[in-house]
Amino acid sequence: MDVISRPELFDFHGVCMTHYFTDNWEKIQNFQARPDDILIDSYPKAGCTWLSYILDLLCHEQTSIPLFQRVPNLEIAVPSLQKGIIYVARNAKDSVVSYFHYDYMSKIQPEPGDWSCYLQRFMEGKVAFGSWYDHVNGWWEKKQSYPKLHYMFYEDLIEDTGREIDKLCCFLGLSPSAEEKERITSSVQFDVMKKNNTVNLSTVPMYFKRPSFMRKGKVGDWRNHFTVTQDEKFDADYKLKIKNTTLQFRTGI
């Protein structure tokens, strides 16, 4: 019998959330990091699984990585962290497309409804984990005053995974050999990771038997979903919400 039911969204400290992510909130609030912990975070569908997979291979036993994915409030996590935080962001258009498909396949996400309503709700921050705009912007602003924050972009990882791994190593003070780096770079490519059933979550009961978690892994798939009218409306709304011109996303590479 299927006991997992789709949750409702509710306001949780000003952010839309579902009970699956707030039920044990006191554990997150009381979290105490170990000296070698790194926190990784992202808005949903920005490549957090990819990043954690890369870090896992890079760090071996040297560093522990608590996956406090998508902590809506940075202040909760920061105080006890000594090593730092890695944040990965992805452009809004590909994020909403990926999120839409994910919500269809995941039983622990609210019912997505049709694409045009979903897009509108995303623009209003009425999806789980709230506003994409507040999330990426909040962390971007935090980065200006918090040097232990490494802010990455999904598009950069796609463009040159090796270069982004170098930057990660620099941030974490790691110095893998050239062969090791080459091996890691090859093993985290989309087609290789897609074959890994654990990453692809193909056996997890919270998913419907729909397209896999490793869906497309592309920059620019939004073009296959947005109509011209939706795109214009989205761009106009985007300009109002992302006023900080130093935060730039690429919607194609």
Minimum CB separation from ligand A3P for residue 142, in Å?
19
CA–CA separation, 149 and 241 (whole Å): 23
Which residue from 15, 33, 44, 63 is in contact with ligand A3P, where contact means CB under 6 A?
44
Nearer to ligand A3P, 145 or 224 (CB): 224
Q: Please give the helix or strand (H or E) that residue 164 lies within, else none.
A: helix 161-172
Closest residue to ligand A3P, Cβ-based?
Answer: 217
Q: Please give the helix or strand (H or E) that residue 228 lies within, else none.
A: helix 228-241
Phi-psi region of 2 (alpha: psi -120 to 50; beta: other; left: phi over 0): beta
CA–CA separation, 87 and 38 (whole Å): 11
Binding-residue pattern over the window 86 to 115 for ligand A3P, x denoting contact by CB under 6 A: --------x---x--x--------------
Minimum CB separation from ligand A3P for residue 210, in Å?
12
Intra-chain end-to-end CA distance of the chain, in Å: 45
CA–CA separation, 11 and 16 (whole Å): 5
Minimum CB separation from ligand A3P for residue 119, in Å?
15
Binding-residue pattern over the window 220 to 239 for ligand A3P, x denoting contact by CB under 6 A: -x------------------
CA–CA separation, 238 and 76 (whole Å): 28
Residue 16 touching ligand A3P (CB under 6 A): no
Two structure tokens written together for 78:
């920061």
Stretch that binds ligand A3P, among 6-14, 56-64, 144-152, 209-217 (CB under 6 A): 209-217
CA–CA separation, 86 and 136 (whole Å): 13
Which residue from 50, 87, 118, 153 is in contact with ligand A3P, where contact means CB under 6 A?
50
Which residue from 84, 176, 217, 220 is in contact with ligand A3P, where contact means CB under 6 A?
217
Residue 47 touching ligand A3P (CB under 6 A): yes
CA–CA separation, 81 and 149 (whole Å): 11
Which residue from 48, 96, 172, 184 is in contact with ligand A3P, where contact means CB under 6 A?
48
Q: Which residues make beta-bridge pairs with 207?
A: 106
Which residue from 33, 46, 81, 184 is in contact with ligand A3P, where contact means CB under 6 A?
46
Q: Which residues bind ligand A3P (CB under 6 A)?
A: 42, 44-50, 94, 98, 101, 188-190, 193, 214-217, 221
